[in-house]
Structure 1
Amino acid sequence: MPYSYEPQYFEAFEEGQTFESVGRTVTEADFVLHSAFTGDWTELHTNAEYAADGPFGERIAQGPMTFVLATGFVYRCGFLERRVVAFLGMNYMDIPAPVYAGDTVAAKFEVTETRELSSRDDAGLVVIDSSMTNQDGEEVFAGDMKFLVRRGE
């Protein structure tokens, strides 16, 4: 399966269509940049001594950082490049396992719904089920992402 896809307009998406991302290793810089950007300096994520005595034995990524990694993979794949009008939210999001600095994560995406919208003649709804796993195949993120995607010209 290729890892880089051509951008697609709404009409090209079909239910059951799948996409797969490349892998990416989560770094110390990711932890620091996410904390700096969000202002979330919770010790479980930023204090190695504190986290060592915690439930995971070391620092873990913030849940929102895990989500951000998954959304980054959507755009890195390229199939939505310059086609998204808006990210409309999610029906569900699960973070079943932690992400650690040094983990290598990758994502798979499946189109689960496409829908014409009577309120828009320039775009339609595309719902994409997302699953991100670590290097051991353990799922660390799952959720459906709803996008308003432009129609072809």
Structure 2
Amino acid sequence: MTYSYEPHHFEDFEVGQTFQSVGRTVTETDFVTHSMVTGDWTELHTNKEYAEDGNFGERVAHGPMTFSLATGLVYRCGFLERTVLAFLGMNYMDIPNPVFVDDTVSLEMEVEDAREISSRDDSGLVVIDSTMTNQEDTVVFEGDMKFLIKSRN
């Protein structure tokens, strides 16, 4: 798969085009920082003793944190650098498995749709189907991210 740090304008995206992110190890600091920023101190994420008695046997990342990790990996690839105008949402999102402290995650992306928007001549809609896996190739996030991307003209 292509690994790109080249900014892509709307015209550079093609349906079926793929991208691969680098890996990123999730840390204790990530867990604490996410809790601090959001105010979500749910014990499943922040209390080791409590979490050890739960379904997963240890603390798990917040669902919104998992989504944030995925979006960060998209932006880290660089193809949206200085060309993305807006994140427009998602048609679907799934977090089928948990992310734990010390997991290393990476993201595979495929352009699902790239089309002009009749009300805009300076940009287009690009939908990127994204799958994030951990170091064991277990899927921990799936979703299609919709972006408004600047045109060259």
Distance 1:108 1:5 in 2: 15
Deviation at 1:115, TM superposition (A): 1.0
Distance 1:3 1:63 in 2: 26
Distance 2:134 2:4 in 1: 20
Deviation at 1:66, TM superposition (A): 0.3
Residue 49 of structure 2 corresponds to: 49
Structure 1 unaligned blocks of 5 or more:
none
Are 1:4 and 1:76, in contact at CA under 8 Å, matched by a contact in 2? no
Residue 24 of structure 2 corresponds to: 24
Deviation at 1:28, TM superposition (A): 0.1
Aligned pairs for 1:2-151 within 5 A: 2-151=2-151
Distance 1:142 1:79 in 2: 19
Q: How many residues align?
A: 153
Matched AA of 1:42: T
Classify the secondary structure of the residue corresponding to 2:49.
helix
* Structure-2-length-normalised TM-score: 0.98
Distance 1:90 1:71 in 2: 12
CA RMSD of aligned residues (A): 0.8
* Structure-1-length-normalised TM-score: 0.98
Distance 2:88 2:122 in 1: 16
Structure 1 runs (4+) greater than 4 angstroms displaced: none
Structure 2 unaligned blocks of 5 or more:
none
Are 1:90 and 1:144, in contact at CA under 8 Å, matched by a contact in 2? yes
1:2/1:116 Cα in 2 relative to 1: closer, same or farther (>3 Å)? closer
Q: How many percent identity over aligned positions?
A: 72
Deviation at 1:2, TM superposition (A): 4.8
Distance 1:93 1:145 in 2: 9
Classify the secondary structure of the residue corresponding to 1:91.
strand
